[in-house]
Copies of this chain bind each other. A is one copy, B any other.
Amino acid sequence: MTHAEHIPGSPPASLDQARQLAAALLSERGEASGALIARQLQQTMRALDADGRHGFQSYLASAFQPDAAALQDAAKRYLADGTAAAAAALADAADPPRQEVLRRMNMAPGGTASLIAMRSEIAGRLGSEPELKLLDADLKHLFVSWFNRGFLELRRIDWQSPAAVLEKLIAYEAVHEIKGWDDLRRRLAPDRRCFAFFHPALPGEPLIFVEVALVQGLATAVPPLLVQDADQDSAGLRAAHADTAIFYSISNCQDGLRGVSFGNFLIKQVVEELQAEFPQLKRFSTLSPIPGFRRWLSQQPQSGGNEVAMLRELDREGWWHDAATCETLRPVLMRLCAQYLTRSPASGNRIDPVARFHLGNGARLERINWLGNTADRAMAESFGIMVNYLYDHDSIERNHEAFARVGEIVRSPQVDALL
């Protein structure tokens, strides 16, 4: 096909073809040759440019509605008799054919990956094209079912892993940037562990991964965890003597799977794996950022002139290199940060997203660390303050319920002392 052949305004041949193939998937032909058609559709989609994909996505979002007459019928019947069977029949009638199309698209090799890519691509247009929300919801519904915990495989990632997997860690690391292969290698040294969930339909594609440091005592700052240390043997020794596992980075890899939660499962299974490999470990904790602290602080009315003056200091580049400034600011900021992190969601407060994740998983707010990370982003977000969330097996359910039911922020006495 040349550009000359393309009549403006009409859909290009391959978009047309994609539509026809998608429709064929639900037809008689689809019954006989579903897997083949799905493969052809897969190839056709690969040939589409951004406009073509946009067109195809809109088509998927709008073309495969449930049969209106049948659905009205089922709705009326349910309203009339309200039995479980009528409810089930109604669920059946409401099940959108779009989901069935997507399931059949998945039959092709690479189908799952291409549906995930599609959801990633439409994310940015959900606001302007609300009809895509139905497609987005159907994709998410399928992904929640397909990426069920029971189908995920936990794999350790180390220096024996394929380079093709390792380069994805470099690409996806969202918390502490991996600066190339030497940096990566340090993260996979004998006193580090990295685990990821994989799905059989996406071999070689981590869904989420966590980086763990095996250390003595609760790590309170990031730099010692990332520092280069070439000696494998002494790293092995450190691992053998560690009493604490620090989860210092956890990154989701697949934007198209947003809203499908993996993190909670991952942390808990990794705790079990580590406990089995290192029975001497006594403590499992994160070392986490506080992405919302500075923004929150800037929205607070300042209590007095002194404080205002002090906080103005924070605009100075490199203020934290000045010991005197630090001494003045530290008690104020630590108190404010403790206040920020312990506000109850029950009173309508917006909880810090990282805090919400870990507290929701049943972790406890354990420690707030002054200058735990002086990297640019951490300084910008939280003046370098970092926090430990502790995962204590015996109190996880209780903590979670306290947080989920009454919005209680379970915390250590050390945190209380800052308030």
Q: Which residues of B contact A38 (CB under 8 A)?
A: 149-150
* Contact B145 A146, beta carbon cutoff 8 Å: yes
* Contact B265 A35, beta carbon cutoff 8 Å: yes
CB distance from A62 to the nearest CB of B (A): 7
SS class of chain A's interface: helix, strand, loop or mixed? helix
* Bound form: Cα–Cα A68–B88 in Å: 12
Question: Interface digits, A387-399 against B, CB 8 Å rule (1 contact, 0 not)?
Answer: 0000000001101
A77-118 at interface with B (beta carbon < 8 Å): 78-79, 82, 84-85, 87-88, 90-91, 94-96, 103, 106-109, 111-112
* Given A84-B131, A146-B145, A400-B28, A35-B268 contact (CB < 8 Å): yes
Name which of A157-165, A214-222, A284-292, A347-355 contacts chain B: A157-165
* Contact A159 B159, beta carbon cutoff 8 Å: no
CB distance from A336 to the nearest CB of B (A): 29
* Given A78-B75, A79-B75, A269-B35, A404-B150 contact (CB < 8 Å): no
* Contact A145 B87, beta carbon cutoff 8 Å: no
* Bound form: Cα–Cα A301–B35 in Å: 44
How many residues of A are counted as interface, with CB atoms below 8 angstroms from the partner's CB atoms?
Answer: 76
Question: Interface digits, A157-186 against B, CB 8 Å rule (1 contact, 0 not)?
Answer: 001111110100000000000001100010
A362 contacts partner chain B, Cβ-Cβ < 8 Å: yes
Q: Which residues of B contact A204 (CB under 8 A)?
A: 160
Q: Which residue of B has the minimal Cβ distance to A71? A: B87
A306-347 at interface with B (beta carbon < 8 Å): none
A237 contacts partner chain B, Cβ-Cβ < 8 Å: no
20 A-B contacts (beta carbon < 8 Å): A28-B400, A32-B264, A32-B360, A32-B400, A32-B404, A33-B400, A34-B149, A38-B149, A62-B84, A71-B90, A88-B96, A88-B137, A91-B94, A103-B145, A107-B150, A111-B150, A146-B151, A159-B163, A161-B163, A162-B163
* Cβ-closest 7 pairs across A and B: A32-B400, A91-B94, A107-B149, A200-B200, A75-B75, A106-B150, A32-B362
